[in-house]
Chains A and B, each alone.
Chain A
Amino acid sequence: MMTPQPLLRMTQITKTFPGITALDHVEFELTTGEIHALLGANGAGKSTLMKILCGSLKQDAGEIMLDGKAMEFDRPADSIAAGISYVPQELMLAPTLSAARNILLGQEPIRFKPLGIIDEKALKSQAREIIDRLGMQIDINKPVQEHAVSTQQMIAIATALFRDSKILILDEPTSSLSESEIERLFQITRKLRDDGHAIVFISHHLDEVFRIADRLTVLRDGIFQGCFKTGDVTQDELVALMVGRRMNTSESQSHNVDEKEVALRVHDLRADGVRGISFDVCKGEVVGIFGQVGSGRTEVLRAVFGADRAATGVIEINGKPVQIRNPQDAISHGIGFITEDRKRQGLVLQMSIADNISLGNYEPVMKRGFLDQHARNEIASEYKRDLQIKMQEPTQCVNFLSGGNQQKVILAKWLNRHSKILLMDEPTKGIDVGAKQEFYTLINALAEQGVAILMVSSELPEVMMLSDRILVMKDGTINGEFIPERGMEEQILAKAL
């Protein structure tokens, strides 16, 4: 008989960032001894909700109640002290320390207080005890980085256990595991549940979720969609909730695609995370690549752009095979690349807007062998008009612009290079709704002008609206190809999960 009082209740949790409401009055609840899956597409708000639970973020409104008591988490340490442990997708372990050291990190048994000498024997026996509780066989003396990833995950979970956490949050724990390793993880998770722990299981692999979870909570666009017992709902119903029927009111565009003019042909492309794929993009065509994080989408773009030295494969531009070993080769063949992380890969934040637009491309602004500041500013002003960039002056530091405008600056950089093939990785990530619409208009306009566009996106409505064709990627290969029409959302999503 379960206690009527749930272990954890998060009520009316709201969190906004500039331009985006990440969570809108979300409800989430946990009881002791359950495995509860948290579902939603990328950007649905899962990580934000968990960050609030772990104390990394503070909610704008709403309450967190643990065992009926209202809790305030101002920093991660508060959450840990309350018995909540977070195992992130990128395991937070010290790779060169042993498993034992990692598990007891920060709480090592001390032999001699003033000097802080660690009691090695006690350390090892305590570590071993936890490992045994998990029913595992691990060499606790080897440095963590020498263990297989699946074992590292066990060690991360053991670390959480050592703190005697009542609540364990596992964020995408299966993404780098093999089938047998997943089964082992599930066994351990079930054991922990039977011992009374509450486990939050975040994953986008619906089939796995159905195997392991007792209950499921679905979020979409920051809004709570429902909490269900696993037996009470079907996969299709869940997918419908995750994706939603709400599509943009604008009709999906189809562009004037000249099928005889293949701008980019890729054959047997291989790279880290890409297992031999082939596709074409024609002039004036928008090809969307849809898939979950980790399916190899970014790696495909990077390989085509020459940003990944280890990539192999045949690339043909306008019918002629070319060698692309580095970004300069790609650029010389007319390829541009709008990267996923504009702050880390697309912009030099200390520089002005004008400088960022001219980054690496100085010919247009050279006069008698030296940079002409006037020309550089003129060009920036032109793009300000053409792309509607909200800025004060070309000499303004690009750091001050909003995300959408920063993205436009990056687009201007490539337009200034007269790129005929544009690779875009999540071009509207982190941009507010208004700027997104402007970007869609720009993308359509570019396609009309004959630019071939290869666009990666994890927002299904966006991909469906803009693309002439959609390639669905999963596990490094193309799992499906669609010409988007209304009603296809579930099919497409199913191919990606």
Chain B
Amino acid sequence: MKTETTETGDQKGIQTSEHERRLRLPPSAGILLALLLLGAFFTFLSPVFLKSANLVNIMVQSSMTIVIATGATIVIASAGIDLSVGSVLALSGIFMAMTLKAEWPVALCIAIGLLGSVFIGAINGWMVGKVKITPFIATLAMMSVARAVAYIMTDARPIYGLAAGLRYFGTGKIGPIPVPALIAVAVAAVGHFMMERTRAGRNTLAIGGNEEAARLSGVNVGRAQIIIYAMAGLAYGIGALIMTARMNAAEPMAGLGLEMDAIAAAVIGGTSLAGGVASIFGTVIGALILATLRNGLTLLSVQPYFQQLTIGIVIVAAVFLDKIRTR
């Protein structure tokens, strides 16, 4: 059984938390090693892999996954699940695009997109926390409803050619580092901080660990659930910002199946589906592993379907190894 809650640590530097002094290596050591091995493997097989352009590519590809997987990690830590990731992302992107087309200020459009995804997340949280629908069903329903709304609002047509101000969030750079990567790091850092040092974060872990004990200790579980899913919604909205900026378009079909990536990254990263444990750092590595796998396999000209197969196997292997390690 996992015995630590979260770990401090982000890409800027690793401090082991107090919990880990007592244990062997932090669990993330395992997947970090896996990531490095994976990198070594592809470097060996492809001369292009380690080129800076390719590494930047991996950073950007993983950025969006990191952002939405942070949201998913929070939900999974509460012993919930969120299947509506992709649909909420699409809808949020559409809000942004439509307001941009109406020539409103860019900042306002982004705010509207984010508010939209937060609001939808809050509805998810309300269904789970107050109406007491199980997360799987509630977010499954939202997945359909949000997607349908996206189609209806856009008449099933993509929205192209958005205002220039948005592009920065997708393709801009600060120094050599792409903006999406910086956004991802910021989201992960905030997510980690939230889990460790805010009431909402502790409540999330408490509810995931033992909802009844949390309730009987005075946690307002219903309200906490709304906050949990709303925060996840915010993360999906930021993901929508990155995607919409990069594609310079919003379409109702965006993000189909994205929830799988989000959940996979979280699970590979060591967040248990049973709840009560969260590792944002692990999620970041999980997302990097997924992006590295896709990138490396593409460089090796592996066909897309085989890529999907490989990724599926990696996910199962990661969870399996995790189970062995924590026995």
CA distance A448 to B214 in the complex (A): 29
CA distance A338 to B109 in the complex (A): 51
- Which chain A positions have C-beta within 8 A of B220? 328
Q: Which one of A328, A346, A373 contacts B218 once the chains associate, using CB atoms below 8 Å? A: A328
CA distance A351 to B6 in the complex (A): 10
Is A327 within 8 A of B215, CB to CB? yes
Is A360 within 8 A of B218, CB to CB? yes
Q: Which one of B2, B22, B206, B216 contacts A339 once the chains associate, using CB atoms below 8 Å? A: B216
Is A349 within 8 A of B217, CB to CB? no
Interface residue count for B (Cβ, 8 Å)? Answer: 29
Is B213 within 8 A of A350, CB to CB? no
Is B213 within 8 A of A371, CB to CB? no
Q: Which residue of chain A is the closest to B22 with respect to CB atoms? A: A396
Q: Is B197 an interface residue (CB 8 A)?
A: yes
Q: Is A397 an interface residue (CB 8 A)?
A: yes
Minimum Cβ distance to chain A for residue B84 (Å):
26
CA distance A276 to B306 in the complex (A): 67
Minimum Cβ distance to chain A for residue B323 (Å):
16
Interface string of A353-366 (1 = CB under 8 A from B): 00100111110001
Is A399 within 8 A of B1, CB to CB? yes
Minimum Cβ distance to chain B for residue A183 (Å):
39
Is A359 within 8 A of B198, CB to CB? no
CA distance A352 to B23 in the complex (A): 13
- Which chain A positions have C-beta within 8 A of B86? none
Is A361 within 8 A of B217, CB to CB? yes
CA distance A355 to B206 in the complex (A): 9
Is B199 within 8 A of A371, CB to CB? yes
Q: Is A337 an interface residue (CB 8 A)?
A: yes
Q: Is B144 an interface residue (CB 8 A)?
A: no
Q: List 28 A-B contacts (CB under 8 A).
A: A307-B216, A327-B218, A337-B216, A344-B212, A344-B213, A345-B212, A345-B216, A346-B216, A348-B213, A348-B276, A349-B209, A350-B1, A351-B5, A351-B209, A351-B276, A355-B202, A359-B217, A359-B218, A360-B203, A360-B214, A361-B218, A362-B199, A366-B199, A371-B197, A371-B198, A393-B18, A399-B1, A400-B3
Is B216 within 8 A of A355, CB to CB? no
Q: Is B205 an interface residue (CB 8 A)?
A: yes
Is A351 within 8 A of B206, CB to CB? yes
- Which chain A positions have C-beta within 8 A of B199? 362, 366, 371
Is A345 within 8 A of B213, CB to CB? yes
CA distance A346 to B205 in the complex (A): 15
Minimum Cβ distance to chain B for residue A426 (Å):
15
Residues of B266-318 contacting chain A, CB below 8 A: 276-277
CA distance A400 to B198 in the complex (A): 25
CA distance A344 to B215 in the complex (A): 12
Q: Is B46 an interface residue (CB 8 A)?
A: no
Q: Is A305 an interface residue (CB 8 A)?
A: yes
Residues of A279-308 contacting chain B, CB below 8 A: 305, 307
CA distance A366 to B5 in the complex (A): 19
CA distance A377 to B203 in the complex (A): 18
- Which chain A positions have C-beta within 8 A of B54? none
Chain A residues proximal to chain B, CB less than 8 Å: 305, 307, 327-328, 331, 337, 339, 344-352, 355, 358-362, 366, 370-371, 373, 377, 392-393, 395-397, 399-400, 413, 417
Q: Which one of A350, A392, A413, A417 contacts B5 once the chains associate, using CB atoms below 8 Å? A: A350
- Which chain A positions have C-beta within 8 A of B5? 350-352, 355
CA distance A328 to B18 in the complex (A): 31
- Which chain B positions have C-beta within 8 A of A370? 197-198
12 further interface pairs, Cβ-Cβ under 8 Å (given A360-B217, A371-B199): A305-B216, A307-B215, A307-B216, A327-B215, A351-B209, A355-B202, A358-B202, A360-B214, A370-B198, A373-B18, A393-B22, A399-B1
- Which chain A positions have C-beta within 8 A of B276? 348, 350-351
Minimum Cβ distance to chain A for residue B220 (Å):
6
CA distance A348 to B79 in the complex (A): 13
Minimum Cβ distance to chain A for residue B9 (Å):
15
CA distance A358 to B196 in the complex (A): 13
Minimum Cβ distance to chain A for residue B326 (Å):
11
The 4 tightest CB contacts between A and B, nearest first, are A348-B209, A360-B218, A395-B18, A360-B217
- Which chain A positions have C-beta within 8 A of B209? 348-351
CA distance A282 to B218 in the complex (A): 24
Is A348 within 8 A of B216, CB to CB? no
- Which chain A positions have C-beta within 8 A of B215? 307, 327
Q: Which residue of chain B is the closest to A330 with respect to CB atoms? A: B218
CA distance A32 to B3 in the complex (A): 51
Interface string of B214-232 (1 = CB under 8 A from A): 1111111000000000000
Is B218 within 8 A of A331, CB to CB? yes
Q: Is B10 an interface residue (CB 8 A)?
A: no
Q: Which residue of chain A is the closest to B212 with respect to CB atoms? A: A345
- Which chain A positions have C-beta within 8 A of B202? 355, 358-359, 362, 371
Q: Is B19 an interface residue (CB 8 A)?
A: yes
Chain B residues proximal to chain A, CB less than 8 Å: 1-5, 18-19, 22, 196-199, 202-203, 205-206, 209-210, 212-220, 276-277
- Which chain B positions have C-beta within 8 A of A413? 217
- Which chain A positions have C-beta within 8 A of B196? 371, 373
- Which chain A positions have C-beta within 8 A of B1? 349-350, 399
Q: Which residue of chain A is the closest to B199 with respect to CB atoms? A: A362
Minimum Cβ distance to chain B for residue A373 (Å):
8
Is A347 within 8 A of B210, CB to CB? yes
Please judge, given known A-B contacts A360-B206, A371-B198, A397-B4, whether A352 and B218 are in contact too, CB under 8 Å. no
- Which chain B positions have C-beta within 8 A of A395? 18-19, 22
Is A397 within 8 A of B3, CB to CB? yes
- Which chain A positions have C-beta within 8 A of B198? 370-371
- Which chain A positions have C-beta within 8 A of B216? 305, 307, 327, 337, 339, 345-346
Please judge, given known A-B contacts A351-B5, A370-B198, A371-B202, whether A360 and B210 are in contact too, CB under 8 Å. no
- Which chain B positions have C-beta within 8 A of A307? 215-216
CA distance A339 to B219 in the complex (A): 16
**Chain B CB within 10 Å — which of A350, A373, A396, A400 has the most?**
A350
Q: Which residue of chain B is the closest to A305 with respect to CB atoms? A: B216
- Which chain A positions have C-beta within 8 A of B213? 344-348, 359
Is A352 within 8 A of B19, CB to CB? yes
Is B210 within 8 A of A349, CB to CB? yes
CA distance A407 to B309 in the complex (A): 49
Q: Which residue of chain B is the closest to A342 with respect to CB atoms? A: B213
Minimum Cβ distance to chain B for residue A315 (Å):
17
Minimum Cβ distance to chain B for residue A159 (Å):
32
- Which chain B positions have C-beta within 8 A of A349? 1, 209-210
CA distance A373 to B212 in the complex (A): 24
Please judge, given known A-B contacts A351-B5, A352-B5, whether A344 and B210 are in contact too, CB under 8 Å. yes
CA distance A355 to B198 in the complex (A): 12
Q: Which residue of chain B is the closest to A307 with respect to CB atoms? A: B216
Minimum Cβ distance to chain A for residue B179 (Å):
27
**Chain B CB within 10 Å — which of A305, A347, A360, A393 has the most?**
A360
Q: Which one of A305, A351, A360, A417 contacts B219 once the chains associate, using CB atoms below 8 Å? A: A360
CA distance A417 to B218 in the complex (A): 10
Please judge, given known A-B contacts A348-B206, A393-B18, A396-B22, whether A359 and B219 are in contact too, CB under 8 Å. yes
CA distance A358 to B203 in the complex (A): 10
CA distance A327 to B219 in the complex (A): 8
